[in-house]
Amino acid sequence: MADKLAFLDEELQALKEQGLFNTIRTIGSPQGAWLIVDGKKVLNFCSNNYLGLANHPRLKEAAQKAVAEFGVGPAAVRSIAGTLSLHLELERRLAQFKGVEAAISFQSGFNANLATIPALVGEGDVVFSDELNHASIIDGSRLSRAKIVRYPHADPDSLEKAISQESGYKRGMIISDGVFSMDGDIAPLPQIAEIAASHNLLLMVDDAHGEGVLGRGGRGIVDHFGLHGQVDIEIGTLSKAFGVVGGYVAGKAKIVEWLRQRGRPFLFSSAVTAADTAACIAALDLLEESGALVDRLWENTRYYKAQMQRLGFDTGKSETPITPVMLGDAPLAQKFSRRLFEEGVFAMAIGYPTVPQGKARIRVMISAAHSKEDLDQGLVAFQKVGKELGVI
User: Considering 56, 98, 240, 370, which one is annotated as catalytic?
Assistant: 240
Span near ligand PLP by CB under 6 A; candidates 14-22, 23-31, 105-113, 226-234: 105-113
Q: How far is the CB of 236 from ligand PLP (least distance, A)?
A: 8
Binding positions for ligand PLP, 169-208, rule CB under 6 A: 177, 181, 206, 208
CB of residue 27 to ligand PLP, shortest distance in Å: 16
Query: Which strands form 34-37's sheet, in the order they lie side by side?
Result: 34-37, 40-44, 345-346
Q: Which is nearer to ligand PLP, 245 or 391 (CB)?
A: 245
User: Under the criterion CB under 6 A, does residue 209 sit at the interface with ligand PLP?
Assistant: yes
Give the nearer residue to ligand PLP in terms of CB position, either 237 or 320: 237
H helix or E strand, kind and range, residue 147? strand 147-151
Nearer residue to ligand PLP within complex by CB, 322 or 375: 322
Q: How far apart are the first and last CA of the chain?
A: 53
**Does 47 sit near ligand PLP (CB under 6 A)?**
no
- Near ligand PLP by CB under 6 A, which window of 31-39, 104-112, 334-342, 370-378? 104-112
Establish if 134 lies at the interface with ligand PLP (CB under 6 A).
yes
Task: Single out the segment in contact with ligand PLP by CB under 6 A; choices: 74-82, 106-114, 280-288, 337-345.
Answer: 106-114
Min CB(137)–ligand PLP separation in Å = 7
What is the rounded distance in angstroms from the CA atom of residue 49 to the CA atom of residue 281? Answer: 16
Examine residue 239 and tell whether it contacts ligand PLP (CB under 6 A): yes
Residue from 47, 108, 129, 273 touching ligand PLP (CB under 6 A): that is: 108
Q: How many residues sit in the footprint of ligand PLP (CB under 6 A)?
A: 13
The CB-of-390 to ligand PLP minimum distance in angstroms stands at: 32
CA 194 to CA 206: how far, in whole Å? 17
CB of 391 to ligand PLP, least distance (A): 26
Contact 290, 309 (CB under 8 A): no
Min CB(201)–ligand PLP separation in Å: 20
b/e per residue 346-365 (b: at least 16 CB within 10 A): bbbbbbeebbeeebbbbbbb
- Nearer to ligand PLP by Cβ, of 78 and 209: the residue is 209
The nearest distance, CB 182 to ligand PLP, in angstroms, is 9
| Phi and psi torsions of 317, nearest 5° | -115, 30
Q: Which of 98, 134, 209, 305 is catalytic?
A: 209
Residue nearest to ligand PLP (CB): 109
Site for ligand PLP in 246-285 (CB under 6 A): 247
Torsion of CA 353, 355, 360, 361, to 10 degrees: -130
What are the CA-CA distances from residue 316 to residues 69, 323, 351, 364, 384 (Å)? 48, 8, 15, 12, 20
Q: Which H or E element spans position 233?
A: strand 233-237
Q: How far is CA 344 from CA 45, 149, 161, 340, 384, in A?
A: 11, 44, 48, 6, 12
Q: Are strands 247-251 and 345-346 parallel, antiparallel or unpaired?
A: unpaired
> In whole angstroms, how far apart are CA 273 and each of 73, 184, 345, 381?
6, 31, 33, 40
* Element (DSSP H or E) covering residue 115: helix 109-120
User: Is 181 marked active-site?
Assistant: yes
Q: Which stretch binds ligand PLP (CB under 6 A): 26-34, 108-116, 167-175, 306-314?
A: 108-116
210 binds ligand PLP (CB under 6 A): no
Q: Compute the distance between CA of residue 254 and CA of residue 167 in angstroms, rounded to an integer.
A: 27
**Residues tagged active-site:** 181, 209, 240
